[in-house]
Amino acid sequence: MASTPEFQHTVGKTASLSGTALHTGEKVSLKLHPAPVGYGIKFKRKDLQDEPTIDARIDNLKTVERATTIGEGSVRVHTVEHVLAALSAMDVDNAIVEMDANEPPIGDGSAQLYVDLIKRAGVTVQEEPRKFFDVREPMHVESKTGALLVLLPDEKFRISCTQAGPNNRFTQFLSMEVTPTAFEREIAPARTFVYYEDVQPLMEKNLIKGGSLENAIVVRGEAVLSKEPLRFADEFVRHKILDIIGDLALVGRRIRGHVVAVKPGHATNAELVRALAREQTRRSAIAVPRAMPTGDGGSRLMNHFFRGISPVIRSCRA
| Beta bridge pairs of residue 202 | none
Out of 23, 33, 258, 266, pick the active-site residue. Answer: 266
Asked about 140 being catalytic, the answer comes back as: no
Amino acid making up residue 10: T
Amino acid making up residue 180: P
Backbone dihedral angles phi then psi of residue 124, each to the nearest 5 degrees: -120, 135
Query: Could you list the active site residues?
Result: 266
